[in-house]
Amino acid sequence: MNKKPQEYTRKSGVSYVVITADQSGRRIDNYLLSYLKDVPKTRIYKMLRKGEVRVNRSRVKQDYKLQQQDVVRIPPVYQSAQHKRRPEPSPSLQGLIYRHIIHEDEQLLVINKPPGLAVHSGTNDAFGLIEILRAMRPEDSFLELVHRLDKSTSGCLMIARNHQLLRDLHELLKQNRVSKTYQTLLKGKISRSQVVDAPLSRRAGGHGKKHIQINESGKPSISRFTPVKVFSGATLARVEIDTGRTHQIRVHAASIGHPVAGDKKYGDSEFNRSLRKRGLKRMFLHADTLSLELPYTRERVSFRAPLPEDLQSLLVKI
């Protein structure tokens, strides 16, 4: 009698899941990725292609949007033993995130993301903020990033605690109804406010890295730069954005000749070098405030994260 290789373990039998109102509207592939968190992505898409997953007894494509009362058949799943156990984020990491919670209610979390922490895990990051939160809150069946911040950027970040709020907040972001304000240190002197209205698009970079450029056929993007304090060779500025394109502030700042301090991709190497000597160890970009009308209370709120100590200490040295 042949036995299955020991490196594979049976995870479950056939499951039938009834989709709730809160879950409706999600793509079937995204739903399965969150429902079967320990199963490799390639296996999930193979299940969909082969028709192992059925909705109301019928095959569906990966982009099918679930409806309330849909019955989803999920087949027995086998996973590699290497996926069975994942290391947990350390207590110190969990404690760090706990201390950085700005706001919490039954539907929403707002975190002052520490610099140097990715928002989700990746090739070089065993844990991102969202994985740490899920480890801290095993009782939460749903925790998802509403938007993102670069790894080196600190500040306000929203996490939805249910599907409906995630969809509602994405709609607000799409309609430019979430006001975002950043603080940044720019090269050179800015004496007055400047508005940069320049569409952005992505182009392929080396080793698969993101590189954003101004392109007339790109997505509309507007940044408003207002000087807060002018130094001898730099300006502390407040930046307001309605859109939230990848690297938007960094590309727009560089386009007007005032790149962000510490920006290795779009910045000025000589300017960065001079600030490193004064103690700057990362990009000087901080998500200062988020203002919006909460969909579930219709209350207008603002969340604020104070400028971190490492950036404050730099300002007294320049």
**Are 61 and 45 within 8 A, CB to CB?**
no
pLDDT digits (tens, 9 = 90+) for 180-232: 999 999 999 999 999 999 999 988 665 556 789 999 999 999 999 999 999 99
177-315 shares the fold of 91-163: yes
Architecture of domain 177-315: 2-Layer Sandwich (3.30)
Per-position pLDDT tens, the chain of length 318: 343 333 334 445 678 888 877 678 889 998 898 888 778 888 999 999 999 999 999 999 999 999 988 899 999 886 554 444 567 889 999 999 999 999 999 999 999 999 999 998 877 888 899 999 999 988 887 899 999 999 999 999 999 999 899 989 999 998 999 999 999 999 999 999 999 999 999 886 655 567 899 999 999 999 999 999 999 999 999 999 978 899 999 999 999 999 999 999 999 999 999 999 999 999 999 999 999 999 999 999 999 999 999 999 999 998
User: CATH fold of 91-163, please?
Assistant: Pseudouridine synthase (3.30.2350)
* Residue ranges covered by each domain of the chain: 8-84, 91-163, 177-315
Pick the CATH number of 8-84 from 3.10.290.10, 3.40.50.2030, 3.40.50.720, 3.40.50.300: 3.10.290.10
Whole-prediction pTM value? 0.76
Residues of the chain by 3-state class (helix, strand, coil), percent to 5:
25, 30, 45
Place of tokens 């997953």: 53
Rg (CA), the chain: 22
- Whether 150 is catalytic: yes
Tell me which of 70, 150, 263, 288 is the catalytic residue: 150
